[in-house]
Structure formats: C-alpha cells, structure tokens
Structure 1
Amino acid sequence: MMDIFDKYAPFASRHEQLLQLGADPFAVRIDELRSATEAVIDGRETILVGTNNYLGLTYDPACIAAAQEALERYGTGTTGSRIANGTYGPHQELEQAFARFLKRRSCMVFSTGYQANLAMIAGLAGPRDVVLIDADSHASIYDACKLSGATIVRFRHNDPADLDRRLTRLGAEGECKLVVVEGLYSMLGDTAPLQAFVEVKKKHGAWLLVDEAHSFGVYGETGRGLAEAEGVEEEVDFVVGTFSKSLGAIGGFGASNHPKFDLLRFCARPYMFTASPSPSSIASVRAALQRIEEDPTLRTRLWANARRLHEGLVGIGLRPCSPVSPVIAVPLPGEIAAARAWNLLRERGVYVNLALPPGTPGSLCLLRASLSAAHSFAQVDVVIERFAAVVAELTEEGAALARTA
C-alpha cells in the first residue's frame, strides 16, 4: 500500500539537500528577542531583516500596555466564535475604529489575515461567479477561490491589459465578476498599478478587492495603503488587511462601503466557525492603529531605511527585483547558491528570508529582506557590509557551487 506521505517525496528530497548546506531555513528558532530588530539565533546576536515588522510596533510600549491590561480584564481568550460568545466590546470598538480610519461604512475583524482573505473572497463569490486573480497572488487568495466554488481566471502579474482581455472574453459568463489584486506583493516588493486596474474593472462592471496586507500602514499619506497612495480608494469596493505586519499582532480585517457588507457575518464560514481574536491581540492592534494615525514619522523612518538598504545592495553589485519598497528581494542563480548565501548571512548575524519555488514568482530563488521603522541606519549599514562579504565569498566559491548544482 502506498504511504500517505509518498506524494511529498520530491519536497522531502529538496529539504534534505537544503539541510546538507546548513541550518533548516524553514525551522529557524529564535532563542531570545531583544527588540523589534534584534534577536539571538543559534547563540548569535542577529539583526532581523525578514520579519515584516514594518513599523516596529511589536515592542511599542503603548501596544504592550494595552495588551497587558486587556489580558487582565478579559482573560486569555474568548473560547468562542463571533456569532456565539466571542464578541466582546473591544472587538466591535476595533471594527468601528478601522471603519473610521479607512473611511469605510463597515469593517469586520478576523482571527488571522489568512482567514480574512478566505472569508472575504469565499463570502463574496459563489459557484455562479467568476474570480479573476493576479497570477502572483498569495496562497490565501488561491485557497479562498477554491473555497468559493467560483470559476477562477488568472491574469498576468500586474497586467491590466491582460485582465481587460480576459474580462472581454468572459462576456456575460458569470453572474458577478470579482477582481482580486494585492497592494504590495510580498515576494518581489512590487506594487499593483491600481489606477489602471480600476479603469478596467469600471469598463466591465466588475468588483475590485485589494489585499493591503503588506501595504497597510506603509503607503498613503495617512497609511491606509496603496489605494490611498494611488487616489483610488472610492473605486476599490473591498479592502482586506492583516494585523501581522505593520500592526504587529495577529488577526485581519475586511472593509467596504457596500450597504449589505455585514451579511458576510452570517455567510462567511471562516468568520462564523472559528474562535474570535484574543482580547489582548485586539487591544494591542487598537493601540497600534492609534500610533499609525498619530505618528507619521514611523513611515518616514521606514522609507529612509528602505532606500538606504536598496541603494546599498545596488552599490555592491546586487540587483533587487523591484524599485524601492519595504520589501527588498535579491535573486540568486539557483537553489544551492541561494541556500548557501542564506546560511552565510545567518552565520554573520543577519536574518533574511530564503524564498524558493514554488512559493516564488517565475521560479526565482530569492533572499528576501523586509525593513522596519525600528532599524537604525547603523544596523542597515551592517547588513549591507555583511551582504558584501557574502557576495565576495560566493564569488570565490562560484566554480564549486556550479559543480554542486
């Protein structure tokens, strides 16, 4: 009889090859956190440059104090879903605060960002609808489409003309057509041309959902996301986001101006059938949202750090995949070289993400960095210096790496 795990044999083989090159990149253990940007990993003082902690709010005193107060007042968890016993005053208050900040009529809070996409997309689209998604969409978007039962159509990444062609071909097929794009794409660090996508969706009478998971708090004059930065918020029908990036916690949100939006509370299974977010997380997010509203220097520092790292990596001969953004991804020539570089950086006290196919666009092998407002220029300069040292070492090992590959 076939073993139920035999289907994963190719992945197991690749994983074993990575282990032969050094540490397991998918099981990094952080022994001690010193701050939003520093940790001890394998006994080494390490600069964290791969955490998505864009605004550095995980150690913000106001956020920590709010979480502690909520923990003492409301306990460790709700032990129930929002439609049972899991709606506390702070849940509704956070939804109201998000609605005000986003300038939306309604907002729903979810237990994770992943569930936010599942609930929003699978709740909005059904078997008689069509969902058109960017080819580079996050796994949660793909999974949401499967859960919806809708017809799924992929269009080329960041290509409004291809979306236009596919909507034209569809014609009257499908009762409703929902277009799904992201604001900032988490692997390559590029952004969606939202103004062009808006024109296409209006031309065809489609609906538009923008996942601002990595762009919320980062883009726009007030931090509402890429739609704000592009001046198209009113044309975006639905917005989704997560608490696990700029807001420094766990959870997610969906928001809209549609007058019937709250029907999703009774129709979206990932909202209805899971425990609601813990009170401490809700409280810390409320405090983080207030910090984003009141302190624009968080974004100023983040972008200064992003420009510094991007320019520094270009200066040592590397070619980031995209223009300056808080996500800076560097391609390497193959899986072996990427894993070797990741290990060399780790040994030098720099943590970045190793991103490999099939989780990357175009089968790229990447070292992915994400900047934080909490990084100092001194830390960024150290990261650049250690990248330079790794580049030099890999250059010397080039022939050996080629033979190994």
Structure 2
Amino acid sequence: MTDLFSKFDPLIQQREDLLATGVKDPFSLVMEEVKSPTVAVCNGKETILLGTYNYMGMTFDPDVIAAGKDALDRFGAGTTGSRVLNGTYQGHRDCEEALKEFYGMDHAMVFSTGYQANLGIISTIAGKDDYVILDIDSHASIYDGCALGNAQIVAFRHNDVEALEKRLKRLPSEAGKLVVLEGVYSMLGDIAPLKEMIRVSKEAGAMVLVDEAHSMGFMGPNGRGVAEDQGVLDDVDFVIGTFSKSVGTVGGFCVSNHPKFEILRLVCRPYVFTASLPPSVVATAATSIRKLMHGGDKRAHLWENSKRLHKGLKDLGFTLGTETPQSAIIAVIMPDLEKGAAMWEALLSEGLYVNLARPPATPANMTLLRCSLCAEHSAAQVEQILGMFAAAGRAVGCIS
C-alpha cells in the first residue's frame, strides 16, 4: 500500500538532519508572553521582536484594544455563520466602510484571512478559459487562487517589465486576462515597478490586481501602498490586503471601483462558505485602519528604522536581499540552511527573534534571516539589534 506521506520523506530527513546538529527547531518557537509590539518573552528570556509583520505596531494600541473589548462584550465571541447568512454584524459593515474611506474606493469586501482574499477573488474572476499572468515569485495564496479557479497560469521573471509585456503579447487578444502583482515581495522586501507593469497590462487589455499586504499602512502618502506611492492606484482594478500586518489583527480584504463588484458576495466560494470574522476582530481592524489614515509620523519613523538597520547590517558585512532599503522587510542572505539555523539560534540566545525562511518558500533556493521592522522600534533598539547581529555573526562565522 502506498504511504501518502512518503512524498514528504526528503523534508522529514532534512529536518531530522538539522535538529541532529543540536539547533533548536526554528519553526516551533513559543512566545510565553508578549509585552509590546516589539518585545516578548521567549524561552524565559525577554526578546526583541524583529520578525512579526507588525509594521505599524497597532497590536497594543489602546484605542484598538478598547474597541475589541467593547465588541466582545456587546456581540459575543463569534458569529457562527457565513457573511451571506447570519454572519454580517454591524461591525463587518463598519470595517468595510473604514476600508472604503482609507482607499477612497467604492467597494470593499472583508474575508476571514488575507490568504482567503487572494484565494477567493482570483479564483472567482479568473476561470478555466481565462489567463492569470503573475510574477514567478508570487505568494502561495496567489498560485492557489489560480488553481482553485482552474485559470491558465502564465508566469514571468520577477519584477521584469519586458518579460511581462512579452507574455501578454503572446496571449489571444479576446481572452480574459488578469495580471496579478505584489507591491512588496515578502521574502526579499523588494518593491515592484508597478507604474510600468500596469501600463503594459492595460495596453494589452488586462485587468490588474495588486496585493499590498506588506505595504499597506506605511507606503505612500496616505499609507495605501506601493500603487499609491508610484501614482497608479487609480489604474488598479483590485487591491488585496490583509489585517495581519500593519492593521495588527487577522483578516483579509479586497477594495475596488468595479461597478459589478458586489456580485462577488454571492459567487465567491471562500467568502460564501466560511464563517465570518468575530465581532471583536472587525472592531479592532476598523479602529486600526482609521488610525492608520493619520499615521504619517509613524510611517516616517519606520522608514528611518529601515534605513538605519539596512546600512548597519551592510556595514557589518552581511549580504542583504536589496541594495537599498525598499520596505520594512530586510532580508539577510545566509550561505545555507545549516548556517542560517545556527545564526537564527545565536540571535535568539542574544535576545532577538527573526524569521528563518527556507526553500521552497524563498526565491532561488536561498536561506534567509528575514527582519520585519516596526514603527514602535526605538532608535536605541535598532542599535541594540545591530550589536546582536554583530555578536551572533562573529560567533557563527557569518562575518569576520
């Protein structure tokens, strides 16, 4: 009899080999206490958090917490139903209104996760006779959205405008075409040349969806993401985002000006056939989104943190994923998984948590230590982080 788990044997062996070196399992860390957006207790030790996507530090905002507690008292712990049945409370509508205000768009649809937002929107609007043209480094939820809708996938080289244009020109002119892009790519923290990509997409008669999960809240004059920052937000047909990054809770969304958008509430399976978010979650999200509209000072401080950390790591001799700081993500490239795991553990021992990212999630089979900065990191904390990287890097032999 075939063992359905046998296909995982190489990964099981790789994990066993890694743990045999004596390193702690980097993918099962438990946070025993979270004290703030930037500090937690891990393995009994106070630890600086540099791998949480909590870009704007909204998880402990007093207004956000108060809104969640009030909704919990007034509406209970959950809705126990889908949005199209009993699962739309006043808070869900209010959250969608907050998104429409934030983006200045006509329509907003809230999903239970950001993954479901991509899964639902892509699979619903692009079917088996349609084409989805996407960056080869696109997030798993984008690929899964294509698979669920059975669309034809056409991938192009990462951030390559010319490659995108060539792919579009080869497609039948009468076919339905959706170009899916990301504002910030989560592994290396690099941004997409959206202005040029949207131009060639529109010239080819394609609709454009941009996932702004890692840029919403802090990029652009109003925090609307890379499309706003590059002056092309009005040319985007659909913006996908998540509440689990800058908003500081959980959930996903799509905003759009498309006149037929509301029909998606009846035909989008990951929206129709899943329970809606708890009232406390949509209350915290709506409050956070409205506060992010006025987050200019926090955005400016986050950019300062990014510049300071990028320069400091580069000066120490580390190889980084981007030549210049492009977002709140700074990826430190490791020579291999063993060295990366050893460096991750050494940093944790110093009192610093970062993400260890490994293939197949990473581009070009790279092993990365991925740093996600927060607007609540102080300048002193960033200097402390650099000191921890210096000590761990020398101890492991990553830098001289």
Q: Same fold by TM (over 0.5)? A: yes
In the other structure, the counterpart of 2:397 is: 395
User: Is 1:137 aligned with 2:141?
Assistant: no
Normalised TM-score (structure 2):
0.97
In the other structure, the counterpart of 1:189 is: 189
Other structure's SS at 2:46 match: strand
Q: Which runs of 5+ in 1 are unaligned?
A: 399-405
CA contact (8 A) 2:57 2:248 kept: yes
2: CA distance, partners of 1:103 / 1:387: 41
User: Is 1:356 aligned with 2:358?
Assistant: yes
Shift of 1:133: 0.8
Shift of 1:294: 2.1
In the other structure, the counterpart of 1:333 is: 335
The Cα offsets for residues 237-269 of structure 1, whole Å up to 9 and x where unpaired, read as: 110000000000000110111100111101110
In the other structure, the counterpart of 1:75 is: 76
Tell me which amino acid in the other structure corresponds to 1:345: L
CA contact (8 A) 2:212 2:225 kept: yes
In the other structure, the counterpart of 2:378 is: 376
Tell me which amino acid in the other structure corresponds to 2:193: P
Tell me which amino acid in the other structure corresponds to 2:338: I
The Cα offsets for residues 115-153 of structure 1, whole Å up to 9 and x where unpaired, read as: 000111111111110001100000000111100111011
In the other structure, the counterpart of 1:95 is: 96
In the other structure, the counterpart of 2:52 is: 51
In the other structure, the counterpart of 2:24 is: 23
Correspondence list, 1:224-373, <5 A: 224-322=224-322, 323-324=324-325, 325-373=327-375
Shift of 1:377: 1.2
Other structure's SS at 1:294 match: coil
1: CA distance, partners of 2:135 / 2:213: 15
1: CA distance, partners of 2:337 / 2:144: 26
In the other structure, the counterpart of 2:65 is: 64
The Cα offsets for residues 263-321 of structure 1, whole Å up to 9 and x where unpaired, read as: 11011100000000111010001111121112311111211111111111011011211
2: CA distance, partners of 1:54 / 1:20: 35
1: CA distance, partners of 2:250 / 2:244: 5
Normalised TM-score (structure 1):
0.96
Shift of 1:397: 10
User: In the comparison of the two structures, how many residue pairs are matched?
Assistant: 397
1: CA distance, partners of 2:334 / 2:399: 14
Shift of 1:210: 0.1
In the other structure, the counterpart of 2:172 is: 171
CA contact (8 A) 2:318 2:399 kept: no
CA contact (8 A) 2:346 2:396 kept: no
Closer/same/farther in 2, CA of residues 256 and 361 from structure 1, 3 Å limit: same
Tell me which amino acid in the other structure corresponds to 2:82: S
The Cα offsets for residues 66-100 of structure 1, whole Å up to 9 and x where unpaired, read as: 00000000000000000010001111121122112
The Cα offsets for residues 150-184 of structure 1, whole Å up to 9 and x where unpaired, read as: 10111110011101101111133x63100001001
Q: Which moved more, 1:316-325 or 1:159-168?
A: 316-325
Give the alignment's Cα RMSD to 1 decimal.
1.2
2: CA distance, partners of 1:268 / 1:171: 26
Tell me which amino acid in the other structure corresponds to 1:120: I
User: Is 1:127 aligned with 2:136?
Assistant: no
2: CA distance, partners of 1:240 / 1:361: 22
In the other structure, the counterpart of 2:150 is: 149
Taking every aligned residue pair, what percent have the same amino acid on both sides? 50
CA contact (8 A) 2:358 2:367 kept: yes
In the other structure, the counterpart of 1:403 is: none
Other structure's SS at 1:358 match: coil
In the other structure, the counterpart of 1:7 is: 7
Other structure's SS at 1:87 match: coil
Tell me which amino acid in the other structure corresponds to 1:276: S
2: CA distance, partners of 1:360 / 1:160: 21
Shift of 1:207: 0.6
Shift of 1:17: 2.0
4+ runs deviating over 6 angstroms: none
The Cα offsets for residues 16-39 of structure 1, whole Å up to 9 and x where unpaired, read as: 122224111111111111111111
Closer/same/farther in 2, CA of residues 396 and 214 from structure 1, 3 Å limit: closer
